[in-house]
A = this chain, B = another copy of it.
Amino acid sequence: MSMYTLKGVSLIGEDPASTSGSEFHAVDPGSGEALAPVYRSATAADIERAVQLAAGASAALAQTSGAERAALLRAIADELEAARADFEALVPRETALPQARASGELGRTTGQLRLFANLVEEGSWVDARIDRADPARQPLPRPDLRSQRIALGPVVVFGASNFPLAFSVAGGDTASALAAGCPVIVKAHPAHPATSERAGAAIAAAVQRCGLPPGTFSLLFDAGHAVGAALVQHAQVSAVAFTGSTAGGRALMDLAAARPQPIPVYAEMGSINPVFVLPAAAQVRAEAIATQLHASVLQGVGQFCTSPGVFVIPAGGDGDALRDALRARFADSAAAVMLTAAIAQRHAQGAAQLGAHADVAALVAPVQKAGCAQANLFEVSADAFLRDPHLQEEVFGPTSLIVRTRDAAQMLQLAAALPGQLTVTLLADEADYAAAAPLLLQLPRNAGRVLMNGVPTGVEVCAAMVHGGPYPASSDARSTSVGTAAIERFARRVCYQNVPDALLPPALQEANPLKIARLVDGVMQR
């Protein structure tokens, strides 16, 4: 299969983007070598053109049928699959992730696109509600009221570094925004520009193949933050989606909130994803738990949003045995190259800060090497952990902190004190259920997803998934960035009162031509 020729410039509609923006290039994280081609940051004119094209496409895209949007999403999935060889070459080179990961992540990405295609083709996601007129009602007649969800308008998506396909240019944010009928402008992550360009070209080809306006999708490059900031502040942009650091997400939240017309920001940020090991589980299966947790932390060199950073383990002999089993596995981990040199450096700093903390003991002594990470494991008492909020902050990478709790009461106290989390996990045997019950009442208050006897890495793409959580895990606890409910982020409800049937959108017409589920006079009908 012939390789796509990378152009090194933003993709905006059908005309070439400016080549006068500042230069940058990707870096091979393993060798530190600069990678070709040189990329050009988008200019102010590029930004303006991308946003105007998106705004111009907005009404047409919002009015496409679910079937038309499904065709687009499937065409994108097909175009991405046709580029499999390109991704298998580009992703490892730019991210140090193995080829098998690139290939697996491509499957997740196309599966996600096709899931949204099915959702909007079926159509019930618009949540149609019909309350029919009652002209005889006293004291006043009741009007005919019908509401459904419609697209918000142009969405800016920030590609994430840690999932160069599934949370980047053609990832879940883009898929769900297009599914809702919103034009998308992606700000590419500068760490994988070639992967981004290839995915962007696949989307642009699909847009063209489906006969949709070119403003449906644009991809802008930037080595720094200026392009992203300008997009978030642009009056024609309606919403923002981001996956990344708390600092980065908060900066976008603040920009969006300060606009003359504030817009929603869906930022999926950091999380320490605590794992609570209950006493019976610790006693019965310490070795199995240690293997499971160690594997979860090492997945993707700890660069998953849901990587478990804290293990809450009871004090005493059984807890000690689990601690020792974890120590043995962490001590035995090979060093691995991280996504970028900067991420590796921040990881090393975070680990060093933990190691230097007066109340924290280092359980392993990894050799730190530039660009790489080796697994770290630390231990602290729950008393100290509860005292110092810094210990509750994420260290992005394969570093975990064991927190030892005195008793069930302290475990519950710790659960209640947690800042917002993407996930919290309980490892519990049947003998632990009495202790698990109050934790299961508390933990949903602090997290988007509560797991039992599993690991938080691996985020299923389905209707019930919640990948989000109270701040600072995400900017908006009411939303999820993974699963079909992610589409709701990019829609709002509009109500039609006494509008004649012929002038109503199809989802609300009396005959239900789309055959969707609708709430009619309080009863769910199909």
Interface string of A327-363 (1 = CB under 8 A from B): 0000000000000000000000000000000000000
* A517 CB, nearest partner CB in chain B, Å: 6
* A439 CB, nearest partner CB in chain B, Å: 9
**Within 8 Å of chain B (Cβ to Cβ): is A17?**
no
Asked if A145 and B59 sit within 8 Å, CB to CB, the answer is no
With A254-B257, A463-B519, A463-B522: A454-B497 Cβ-Cβ less than 8 Å: yes
Asked if A449 and B497 sit within 8 Å, CB to CB, the answer is yes
B residues near A63, Cβ cutoff 8 Å? 441
Instruction: Choose, from A222-230, A273-281, A314-322, A475-483, the stretch at the interface.
Output: A475-483
Instruction: Choose, from A72-80, A146-154, A182-190, A204-212, the stretch at the interface.
Output: A146-154
Among A129, A140, A485, which residue has the most Cβ atoms of chain B within 10 A?
A129
Segment 24-66 of A: residues with Cβ below 8 Å from B: 58-59, 62-63
Cβ-defined partner of A464 (8 Å) among B140, B147, B468, B485: B147
**Within 8 Å of chain B (Cβ to Cβ): is A241?**
no
Q: Which residue of B lies closest to A488 (CB)?
A: B478
Roughly how many angstroms separate A177 CA and B468 CA in the complex, as a whole number? 22
**Within 8 Å of chain B (Cβ to Cβ): is A170?**
no
**Within 8 Å of chain B (Cβ to Cβ): is A466?**
yes
B residues near A462, Cβ cutoff 8 Å? 131, 145
**Within 8 Å of chain B (Cβ to Cβ): is A452?**
yes
**Within 8 Å of chain B (Cβ to Cβ): is A16?**
no
Among A140, A150, A451, which residue has the most Cβ atoms of chain B within 10 A?
A451
Q: Which residue of B lies closest to A140 (CB)?
A: B458
Q: Which residue of B lies closest to A128 (CB)?
A: B464
**Within 8 Å of chain B (Cβ to Cβ): is A194?**
no
Asked if A262 and B475 sit within 8 Å, CB to CB, the answer is yes
Segment 447-461 of A: residues with Cβ below 8 Å from B: 447-454, 458, 460
**Within 8 Å of chain B (Cβ to Cβ): is A385?**
no
Q: Which residue of B lies closest to A504 (CB)?
A: B440
Cβ-defined partner of A129 (8 Å) among B124, B153, B464, B497: B464
Among A62, A146, A147, A261, which residue has the most Cβ atoms of chain B within 10 A?
A147
* A87 CB, nearest partner CB in chain B, Å: 18
**Within 8 Å of chain B (Cβ to Cβ): is A472?**
yes
With A129-B464, A442-B59, A497-B454: A503-B143 Cβ-Cβ less than 8 Å: no
Asked if A452 and B497 sit within 8 Å, CB to CB, the answer is yes
Asked if A453 and B498 sit within 8 Å, CB to CB, the answer is yes
Interface string of A148-174 (1 = CB under 8 A from B): 001011000000000000000000000
Copies of this chain, whole number: 2
Q: Which residue of B lies closest to A118 (CB)?
A: B522
Asked if B503 and A436 sit within 8 Å, CB to CB, the answer is yes
Roughly how many angstroms separate A499 CA and B440 CA in the complex, as a whole number? 9
Q: Which residue of B lies closest to A444 (CB)?
A: B494
Asked if B500 and A452 sit within 8 Å, CB to CB, the answer is yes
Q: Name A's B-contacting residues (CB within 8 A).
A: 58-59, 62-63, 104, 124, 129-131, 139-140, 142-143, 145-147, 150, 152-153, 253-254, 257-258, 261-262, 264, 420, 433, 436-437, 440-442, 444-445, 447-454, 458, 460, 462-466, 468, 470-472, 475-478, 480, 485, 488, 491-500, 502-503, 517, 519, 522, 524, 526
| Supplied contacts A451-B498, A468-B493, 15 more A-B pairs, CB within 8 Å | A129-B464, A143-B458, A145-B460, A152-B477, A257-B257, A262-B475, A264-B478, A433-B502, A440-B499, A449-B494, A450-B495, A450-B496, A451-B499, A452-B496, A478-B491
